[in-house]
């Protein structure tokens, strides 16, 4: 099980900034209008993410009660509540809005309720994203794309790699902060454009201890989250993945973001970008001469969404990784051996024949 105190990567201002960045990026590419009622489910929540850890069960029960009363309110009033506090006192009590895991947390890190102490984020609130958009209108757009798996209420008190959500359709699941990765399609670089390659499944599970980010790596981990968001935003706006991380500067991130916070004196890009079209040295057996992005696409077929897309080598013998599924984890240099101990480079090519 994950320990909450070790699992949190960012908090306070950093968490808010990252979530807002994710929100703005996703809002940009959802442009069609939606009716107020939710559409039928389109993608399915992976079975692994529906298995709620024991330490989250009480919080999950809270979310189920809140969801049921939101639906009751909607039936009675003909519309969704603007805030969770609208459910008091006719539907719920004030204490129902505090996460049992951290009852002292009285304010959600984003979309905080203006009237009550509340741990939970209500995704359909009228909180403004910018001068043109509010959360509710953005979420209605997401329902059109993703169906009723879109979260309606979320709890971030379990760490950024284990956010607990209850969906529009009433299902409880855990995910990292950017929940959308569970349902998006794999992409590969081909002739400068991205193309759909089918859903990337969670074929392997990252060991819980590797998700526990050491204190001295957390600033770097927060950077990787920002870069992940920037890559996805770049992809949606340009129709392709960046060929190198420097393409993200300055429109999406600063040059400093591409460095390691553990070694700020070292300037320039120190991170490894795994989706580059740069060719692998011919000295490597089997995969020599391939483009890195093509090799990683093959790895996704074998390993699923745990494949790293950005890595930081500045932490001694251990690497810090940001995976396809948006999760940050620690690994040795050859991360593949965490999942297949006998792995040798090019094994995914042999298995695909």
Look at residue 194 and tell me whether its pLDDT is greater than 60.
no
The residue ranking higher by pLDDT, 113 or 233, is 113
Residue 326 is predicted with a pLDDT of: 84
Mean pLDDT of 221-238: 86
Q: Look at the alpha carbons of 200, 201, 206, 212 in this order and tell me if their dihedral is positive or negative.
A: positive
Query: Please, is 250 exposed, middle or buried when counting C-beta atoms within 10 Å of its C-beta (0-12, 13-18, 19+)?
Result: exposed
pLDDT category, 105, cuts 50, 70, 90? confident
The residue ranking higher by pLDDT, 193 or 274, is 274
Secondary structure, 3-state, the chain: CCCHHHHCCCCHHHHHHHHHHHHHHHHHCCCCCCCCCCCCCCCCCCHHHHCCCHHHHHHHHHHHHHHHHHHHHHHHHCCCCCCHHHHCCCCCCHHHHCCCCCCCCCECCCCCCCCCCECCEECCCCCECCCCCEHHHHHHHHHHHHCCCCEEEEECCCCCCCEEEEECCCCEEEECCCHHHHCCEEEEEECCEEEEEEECCCCCCCCHHHHCCCHHHHHHHHHHHHHHHHHHHHHHHHCCCCCCHHHHCCCCCCHHHHCCCCCCCCCCCCCEECCCCCECCCCCCCCCCCEHHHHHHHHHHHHHHHCEEEEEEEECCEEEEEECCCCEEEECCCHHHHCCCCCCCCHHHHHCC
Angle (CA) 326 302 282, round 5°:
100
Residue 68 is predicted with a pLDDT of: 95
pLDDT category, 34, cuts 50, 70, 90? very low
Q: Rounded to an integer, what distance in angstroms lies between the CA atom of residue 345 and that of residue 252?
A: 33
Look at residue 144 and tell me whether its pLDDT is greater than 70.
yes
Mean pLDDT of 332-346: 89
Residue 104 is predicted with a pLDDT of: 79
Q: At what angle do helices 12-28 and 135-146 cross, to 10 degrees?
A: 60
Q: What is the mean pLDDT of the chain?
A: 79
The mean-pLDDT minimum among 87-91, 122-126, 144-148 falls in 144-148
Residue 266 is predicted with a pLDDT of: 65
Length of the chain: 353
Residue 192 is predicted with a pLDDT of: 38
Residue 60 is predicted with a pLDDT of: 93
Structural tokens at position 279: 């060719």
Tell me the pTM: 0.51
Where do the domains of the chain lie?
Answer: 4-182, 185-351
Look at residue 179 and tell me whether its pLDDT is greater than 90.
no
Residue 205 is predicted with a pLDDT of: 86
The residue ranking higher by pLDDT, 292 or 346, is 292
Q: Rounded to an integer, what distance in angstroms lies between the CA atom of residue 175 and that of residue 162?
A: 5
Contact call for residues 9 and 222 (beta carbons, < 8 A): yes
Look at residue 22 and tell me whether its pLDDT is greater than 60.
no
Mean pLDDT of 225-245: 86
pLDDT tens digit string along 282-291? Answer: 888 888 888 8
Mean pLDDT of 274-296: 87
């Amino acid at each position: 099980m994950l320990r909450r105190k070790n699992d949190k990567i960012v908090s306070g201002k950093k968490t808010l900034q990252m979530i807002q960045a994710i929100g703005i990026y996703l809002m940009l590419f959802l442009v069609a209008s939606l009716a107020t009622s939710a559409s039928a489910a389109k993608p399915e929540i992976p079975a692994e993410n529906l298995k709620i850890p024991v330490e989250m069960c009480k919080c999950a029960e809270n979310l189920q009660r809140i969801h049921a009363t939101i639906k009751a309110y909607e039936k009675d009033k003909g519309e969704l509540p603007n805030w969770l506090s609208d459910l008091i006192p006719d539907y719920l009590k004030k204490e129902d809005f505090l996460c049992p895991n951290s009852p002292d947390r009285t304010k959600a890190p984003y979309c905080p309720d203006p009237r009550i102490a509340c741990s939970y984020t209500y995704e359909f609130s009228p909180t403004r994203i910018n001068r043109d958009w509010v959360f509710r209108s953005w979420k209605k757009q997401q329902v059109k794309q993703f169906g009723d798996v879109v979260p309606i209420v979320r709890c971030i008190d379990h760490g950024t790699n284990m956010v607990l959500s209850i969906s529009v359709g009433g299902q409880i699941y855990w995910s990292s902060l950017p929940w959308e990765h569970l349902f998006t399609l794999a992409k590969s670089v081909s002739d400068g454009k991205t193309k759909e390659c089918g859903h990337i499944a969670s074929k392997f599970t990252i060991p819980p201890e590797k998700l526990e980010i050491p204190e001295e790596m957390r600033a770097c981990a927060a950077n990787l989250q920002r870069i992940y968001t920037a890559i996805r935003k770049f992809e949606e706006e340009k129709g392709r993945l960046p060929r190198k991380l420097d393409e993200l500067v300055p429109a999406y991130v600063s040059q400093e973001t591409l460095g390691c916070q553990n070694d700020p004196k070292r300037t320039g890009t120190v991170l490894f970008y795994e989706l580059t079209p740069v060719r692998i040295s011919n000295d490597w057996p089997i995969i020599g001469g391939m483009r890195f992005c093509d090799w990683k696409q093959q790895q996704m077929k074998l390993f699923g969404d745990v494949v790293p897309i950005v890595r930081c080598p500045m932490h001694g013998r251990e690497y810090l990784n940001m995976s396809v599924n948006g999760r940050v984890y620690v690994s040795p240099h050859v991360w593949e051996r965490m999942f297949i101990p006998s792995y040798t480079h090019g094994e995914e090519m042999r298995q695909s024949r």
